[in-house]
């Protein structure tokens, strides 16, 4: 006959409540509900799931030795926290690394380097005790034409930083409950980049690309919901500012009775970027006069013509409101840095100077076959002019050089007599083929 006074060693529930007890090796008994919670805790304790939280609440009074060590006493595995202040990469050091891959965009580089350095210092502040000054994070907004280097800047930072880093696309996001990805999935991407380590992910950096694509579609009030525009902006507010997010471990939609990973975004730095096509016209309209008649003619005579860089540099929050961004979101992106269209000289430098320059890449590919690649200076300028005409910035350079090198890359692996390939200006303009030199034995 079972003991009527027997109870669960964890929650204290008696067996009379209809909870059968499971005997353990040490002679104690545990109910099935606590066994299930124990199993869930073992699986989810690393991620801070709901089951782990419920289990911790149950045993914190009866068996405190079973609770995990507080996160403050656990090593997070983040290299930046183990550095001395003198070992942190300075903004100048970060800028030097960016210069090895990105041409131009001095203001954007300086802005990003200072923000990232301050982010490092902010991470170290949590380690200091007795400091009553709280440093808040400053999220960044990058705006510039396509092909100006926004995504490249973010990718380059990913190579030189020791914090988890991910790049997400805002165009796939929709308001919760509609077809598309939930906004919380951008935090899941960072968590995956941190190997599912919540402590590391909470100190990472997220780059949100194509931010302008979630602008409000119309200024007029509509009877339908703007689920991929204004709805996404509203969902991003708390995540960018800092909140506790419940993340599905495998992504996708949330559903009842699902275990979640809890991630705090207070220490996650957000860098947002977008082309914002049409923003310049809005700025120019604001900078222009509103007078009419003869007064407007007099004002137009003395009106200053602003360059593209000057126009973007004069962007104000109200310009983004007119573009379709909500004021609440712009208030959470206090740092703004414009990027400008690359000039012809910058495009020429982009072809040859960076470590991943296109000419260097093709020279390396041909060198593997024992062939030398020679690109004349006039040919480089011709490529840059064509890229400017295409209007897609640096992205046009790859399509141009791919077209030029197609026949060369087709012939070189099969023809062992080729010793050098020269690209001339006529080659770029399509008037002539690349100049190929072969060995003397082949000529004979």
Q: Helices 344-352 and 358-367, interaxial angle, to 10°?
A: 30
List the structure tokens of 407: 């026949």
User: How far is the C-alpha of 42 from the C-alpha of 52, rounded, in Å?
Assistant: 8
Q: Which helix (H) or strand (E) holds 209?
A: strand 205-209
User: How far is the C-alpha of 371 from the C-alpha of 359, rounded, in Å?
Assistant: 14
**31 is known to lie in a ligand binding site:** yes
**150 is known to lie in a ligand binding site:** yes
Chain-centroid distance, C-alpha 293 = 49
User: How far is the C-alpha of 227 from the C-alpha of 235, rounded, in Å?
Assistant: 10
**340 is known to lie in a ligand binding site:** no
Chain-centroid distance, C-alpha 79 = 20
**177 is known to lie in a ligand binding site:** no
**322 is known to lie in a ligand binding site:** no
Task: Please provide the DSSP assignment of 254-304 as one string.
Answer: --TT---EEEE-TT-EEEEEE--TTHHHHHHHHHS----THHHHHHHHTPP
As beta bridge partners, residue 22 has: 30
**157 is known to lie in a ligand binding site:** no
User: How far is the C-alpha of 154 from the C-alpha of 207, rounded, in Å?
Assistant: 7
User: How far is the C-alpha of 245 from the C-alpha of 191, rounded, in Å?
Assistant: 12
As to burial, measured by CB atoms within 10 angstroms (0-12 exposed, 13-18 middle, 19+ buried), residue 193 is buried
**166 is known to lie in a ligand binding site:** no
**11 is known to lie in a ligand binding site:** yes
Q: Residue 282 to residues 314, 317, 435: CA-CA distances in angstroms?
A: 11, 11, 49
What is the rounded (10 degree) CA torsion for 364, 370, 372, 373?
-50
User: How far is the C-alpha of 117 from the C-alpha of 133, rounded, in Å?
Assistant: 18
Q: Which helix (H) or strand (E) holds 140?
A: strand 140-143
**145 is known to lie in a ligand binding site:** yes
DSSP percent split of the chain into helix, strand, coil, nearest 5: 45, 15, 40
List the structure tokens of 64: 């405190």
**274 is known to lie in a ligand binding site:** no
In this structure, are residues 236 and 251 in contact, taking their beta carbons and an 8 Å threshold? no
Residues contributing to the annotated binding site: 8, 11, 31, 34, 145-152
Residues contributing to the annotated binding site for ATP: 145-152
Residues contributing to the annotated binding site for Zn(2+): 8, 11, 31, 34
């Amino acid at each position: 006959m079972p003991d009527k006074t027997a109870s669960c060693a964890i929650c204290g529930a008696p067996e009379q409540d209809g909870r059968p007890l499971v005997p353990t090796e040490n002679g104690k008994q545990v109910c099935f509900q606590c066994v299930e919670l124990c199993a869930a805790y073992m699986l989810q304790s690393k991620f801070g799931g709901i089951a782990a939280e419920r289990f911790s609440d149950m045993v914190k009074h009866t068996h405190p030795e079973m609770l995990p060590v507080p996160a403050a006493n656990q090593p997070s595995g983040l290299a930046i926290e183990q550095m001395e202040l003198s070992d942190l990469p300075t903004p100048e050091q970060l800028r030097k690394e960016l210069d090895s891959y990105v041409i131009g965009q001095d203001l954007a580089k300086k802005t990003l380097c200072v923000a990232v350095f301050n982010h490092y210092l902010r991470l170290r502040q949590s380690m200091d005790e007795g400091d009553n000054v709280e440093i808040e994070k400053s999220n960044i907004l990058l705006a510039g034409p396509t092909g100006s280097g926004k995504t490249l800047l973010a990718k380059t930072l990913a190579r030189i930083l020791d914090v988890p880093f991910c790049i997400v696309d805002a165009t796939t996001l929709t308001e919760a409950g509609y077809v598309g990805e939930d906004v919380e999935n951008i935090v899941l991407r960072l968590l995956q980049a941190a190997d599912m380590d919540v402590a590391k992910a909470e100190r990472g950096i997220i780059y949100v690309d194509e931010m302008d694509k979630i602008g409000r579609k119309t200024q007029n009030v509509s009877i339908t919901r703007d689920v991929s525009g204004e709805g996404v902006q509203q969902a991003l507010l708390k995540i960018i500012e800092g909140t506790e997010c419940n993340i599905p471990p495998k992504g996708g939609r949330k559903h009842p009775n699902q275990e979640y990973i809890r991630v705090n975004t207070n220490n996650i730095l957000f860098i947002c970027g977008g082309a914002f096509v049409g923003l310049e016209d809005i700025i120019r309209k604001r900078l222009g006069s509103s007078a009419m008649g003869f007064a407007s003619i007099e004002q137009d005579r003395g009106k200053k013509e602003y360059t593209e860089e000057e126009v973007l540099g004069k962007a104000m929050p109200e310009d983004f409101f007119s573009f379709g961004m909500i004021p609440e979101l712009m208030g959470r992106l206090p740092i703004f840095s414009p990027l400008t269209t690359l000039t012809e000289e910058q495009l020429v430098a982009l072809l040859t100077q960076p470590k991943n320059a296109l000419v260097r890449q093709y020279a390396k590919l041909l060198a593997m076959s024992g062939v030398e690649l020679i690109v004349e200076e006039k040919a480089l300028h011709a490529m840059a002019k064509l890229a400017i005409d295409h209007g897609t910035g640096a992205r046009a350079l790859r399509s141009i050089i791919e077209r030029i090198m197609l026949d060369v890359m087709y012939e070189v692996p099969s023809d062992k007599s080729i010793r050098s390939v020269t690209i001339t200006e006529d080659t770029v303009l399509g008037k002539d083929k690349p100049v190929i030199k072969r060995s003397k034995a082949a000529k004979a």
